[in-house]
Amino acid sequence: MAVKTEAVKTEELKLDIERIGTVSAILVQPGNARACYVLAHGAGAGMRHSFMDEVAVGLADRGIATLRFNFPYMENKQRRPDQPTVAHAAIRATVEEAARLCPGLKLVAGGKSFGGRMTSQAQSKAPLPGVKGLAFLGFPLHADNKPSTERAEHLARVDIPMLFLQGTRDRLADLSYLKPVIEELGPKAKLHEVAGGDHSFAVLRKSGRTNEEALEEVLDTLMAWIDEIA
Handedness of CA 105, 16, 24, 46 (dihedral sign): negative
Rounded-to-integer distance, Cα 172 and Cα 169, Å? 9
- Classify residue 215: in a domain, yes or no: yes
pLDDT over 70 at 120, yes or no: yes
- Classify residue 29: in a domain, yes or no: yes
Show the CA angle centred on residue 204, arms to residues 198 and 207, nearest 5°. Answer: 115
* Four-point Cα dihedral 167, 4, 64, 112, nearest 10: 30
Q: What is the pLDDT of residues 86-119, one digit of tens each?
A: 999 999 999 999 999 999 999 999 999 999 999 9
- Classify residue 119: in a domain, yes or no: yes
Q: What is the pLDDT of residues 54-96, one digit of tens each?
A: 999 999 999 999 999 999 999 999 999 999 999 999 999 999 9
DSSP string for residues in the chain: -----SPEEEEEEEEEETTTEEEEEEEEEETT--EEEEEE--SSS-TTSHHHHHHHHHHHTTTEEEEEE--HHHHTT-SSPPPHHHHHHHHHHHHHHHHHHSTTSEEEEEEETHHHHHHHHHHHHSPPTTEEEEEEES---SBTTB---GGGGGGGG--S-EEEEEETT-TTS-HHHHHHHHHHHGGGEEEEEETT--TT----GGGSS-HHHHHHHHHHHHHHHHHHH-
> How much is the pLDDT for 145?
86
Residue 81 to residues 74, 76, 120, 200, Cα–Cα distance (Å): 8, 11, 16, 19
Q: How many CB atoms lie within 10 A of CB 198?
A: 18
- Classify residue 69: in a domain, yes or no: yes
- Classify residue 1: in a domain, yes or no: no
- Classify residue 55: in a domain, yes or no: yes
> Domain tally for the chain?
1
- Classify residue 176: in a domain, yes or no: yes
Which CATH number is 208's domain given? 3.40.50.1820
> How much is the pLDDT for 4?
55
Across all residues in the chain, what is the average pLDDT? Answer: 96
- Classify residue 152: in a domain, yes or no: yes
Quickly state the pLDDT bin for 3 (edges 50, 70, 90).
Answer: low
The candidate with the shortest Cα–Cα distance to 137, out of 214, 27, 23, 26, is 214
Domain limits at 35? 8-229
Quickly state the pLDDT bin for 33 (edges 50, 70, 90).
Answer: very high
pLDDT, mean of residues 34-52: 97
Quickly state the pLDDT bin for 123 (edges 50, 70, 90).
Answer: very high
Name the more confident of 173 and 4. 173
